[in-house]
Structure 1
């Protein structure tokens, strides 16, 4: 078997971005279905979500690696949720300056400038729990095969054809 190496930060960022993008589409589809019983199950997002989720999840990965031996899961996920709200507010505020903010929470009772909604806190907390326990944990375990061949690690395509 050939030597392996961890995924690069850019590769991990990409995987986190795609994961966040997919989750947002599925969440908005499920939310719309719950409110309107729309069986078409349309989900929506913005291209900005790739940058927003990818960057945030890469930061949470770094935090996880620093905090995992110091604090329990509950404390870590509370920290992630607080940072998520800060990140959502900041990115939304910047995007709003260019009329590009894809979300508006102004119809919620406790929104802050329409950019964050505390009503979503349980969903975000559960999202950070899943992020840490499933997504980050598995992405950090992924490795590139040094040979770079498709198929079985360490076995070239020609050997498999014999």
Structure 2
């Protein structure tokens, strides 16, 4: 009996039913954290480029978690629909950038009603109501490209194993096994 259990545990994972895609909420969480970290890194780089501040004081707001998570989840849905229709990558990224401006403006306007909007682009030459600025078009386009090519595509490929014996760590596979498996999370 123990031999049969060890053989089953060491067998490679072969069925799609054994691993489930990440839930929408799990992907939203990944996107929220990704956006949050990118915001901190961008603001730190901006402070260095503009003010030569070597402390790299990156900042953001807790509101950014909701804003980025929801925005990138929407971009994920757009990516799936546009890719199916054969829309080329540069046009997809332009559409994601346009969506980002609409989302940033909308959430900023809503937060401003409660005196809670954490950004103000009024000092930029090409701003609209201080909520969006054309000067960020290229950074948003690049962020959209990275979001699709790295973050969204990877998140959609990740699979969650519900039981450690189904393909988790090396112990579950008898010390050998598939490259790329890490704990309970695995990319196909």
State the TM-score, normalized to the length of structure 1: 0.92
The answer to whether the 8 Å contact 2:60/2:118 transfers is yes
Q: Which has the higher contact order (CA 8 A, sep 6+)?
A: 1
Q: Which protein is bigger by CA-based radius of gyration?
A: 2
> Where does structure 2 lack aligned partners over 5 or more consecutive residues?
1-11, 176-188
> Where does structure 1 lack aligned partners over 5 or more consecutive residues?
none
Q: 1:147 to 1:137 in 2, by over 3 A?
A: same
Q: 1:153 to 1:135 in 2, by over 3 A?
A: farther
SS in 1 for 2:119: coil
- Residue 79 (structure 1) aligned with residue 95 (structure 2): yes
Counterpart among 100, 125, 135 of residue 109 in structure 1: 125
- Residue 152 (structure 1) aligned with residue 169 (structure 2): yes
Residue 155 of structure 1 and its aligned partner are, at CA, apart by 1.8
**Where does residue 27 of structure 2 map in the other structure?**
12
**Where does residue 48 of structure 1 map in the other structure?**
63
Residue 153 of structure 1 and its aligned partner are, at CA, apart by 7.4
Q: 1:58 to 1:50 in 2, by over 3 A?
A: same
Aligned residues: 158
Q: Tell me how far apart the structure 2 counterparts of residues 153 and 60 of structure 1 sit (CA, whole Å).
A: 35
State the TM-score, normalized to the length of structure 2: 0.80
Q: 1:38 to 1:68 in 2, by over 3 A?
A: same
Question: Runs of 4 or more off by more than 4 Å in structure 1?
Answer: 148-151
